[in-house]
Structure 1
Amino acid sequence: MATMNKSIFYILLLTALPLYFTGCRKEVRPTSMTIKDSVRHYYPIKQGQQLDIMFTITNTGDAPLIISEMQPSCGCIILDKSSHIIIPEDGIRQFKATYNSIKNVGEVVHRIRIFGNMLPDGRAELKFDVNVVPDADYTRDYEELYQEFNTKNGIVREMVDGKESELGYYVGEP
């Protein structure tokens, strides 16, 4: 009788176990989305200025939009985001990106690639361009940049007189 109860228990367990695991399985369906003004042309900025970019993503599909990754095309773009973002059906979410123009001059084109469960191929793109204008009429050469750095940091006197700890010594009369 005990073995029969054990066998009934195991049969029930084996039939209930697959039903339990099918309830845990969730399928991520693809959905459609739009980025408001996905191609942008900004007015010129001075070299060294930061450009704040706000972009809006709208989930236009019937499934939640799961953004798994956002990749800027340059390290000069900082994204204000979390790692996994979920936008519900018909939901809207704004994101902020900051572009630092310190190392660029001239016409600059950058992209922010967005990966997730969006149609048709799981990725979308925001593209922007801006003209970065240098401070003066000309691009400063290395000597000018070095002189400016030394002037800001007070190193000019040290270059003329030398460091006190490295003056050395002399022999004989002064």
Structure 2
Amino acid sequence: MDVEDNDRHYYPILAGQRKDIAYKITNTGKNPLMITDIITSCGCLNVDKGTAVFTIPPGKDRILTLSYNSAKNVGYVKHYITLYGNFEKALFKELVFDINVVPNAMYTLDYEELYADEVKKDGGVKEFVDGSENNKGYYMDVDLSKSVHQTR
């Protein structure tokens, strides 16, 4: 397996911005390369849907795309994407990148404020359907052994 431009150093971005990352993976072996699992070093990295498990024929390549949400990091961060599959001489392979996440110079938003802004960008659909997180209602513990309707 060959990865084009592994161990990348991205230019700084502002906290709260998203960055799309794409790695070109080439199968240099004689057999199909099967990627069976992808684990990221942070919840801020999401693998595009439908690309966590895939196969690359011999001599062919494929693009692996990820989305990075910088709202959860500030400062220098280094991330690892671990690929598991049928590698010839290893149990796994790692893709690596680093980036500096810079807070806004005028005002630094905390994580809750960044999340609230993200929810507003989505049009509030989740809150409309599920309700706001601070107004969910309540539940009661029910002890069925002390039921009012027990028969004697």
TM-score with structure 2 length normalisation? 0.68
Equivalent in 18, 21, 25 of residue 53 of structure 1 = 21
Alignment match, 1:85: 54
| Aligned counterpart in structure 1 of residue 31 of structure 2, from 53, 63, 84 | 63
The alpha carbon displacement at 1:120 in A equals 1.2
Give the Cα separation in 2 of the matches to 1:141 and 1:122.
39
Read off the aligned partner of 2:90 and give its amino acid letter. D
* Deviation readout 1:88-127 (Å, 9 max, x if unpaired): 1101000110100012110011010000001211211110
Deviations 1:118-153 (A, max 9, x none): 1211211110000000012564689xx6xx99xx9x
Identity of paired residues, percent?
47
**Letter in structure 2 aligned against 1:89:** P
Q: Answer with 133-142 or 74-83: which moved more.
A: 133-142
Q: Give structure 1 regions of 4+ aligned residues with deviation exceeding 3 angstroms.
A: 137-142
**Amino acid across the alignment from 2:65:** K
Look at both structures and tell me which one has the larger radius of gyration over its CA atoms. 1
Residue 59 of structure 2 aligns to a residue whose secondary structure is coil
> Aligned pair count?
114
Which residue in 1 is equivalent to 2:7?
39
CA displacement at 1:82 relative to structure 2: 3.3
In the alignment, structure 1 segments of 5+ residues that lack a partner are 1-32, 153-174
* 8 Å contact kept, 2:2–2:28: yes
Letter matched to residue 97 of structure 1: L
- Secondary structure of 1:82 counterpart: coil
SS in 2 for 1:102: helix
TM score, norm. by length of structure 1: 0.60
Q: Could you tell me which amino acid in structure 2 is paired with residue 134 of structure 1?
A: P
Higher helix share: 1
Residue matched to 1:133: 102
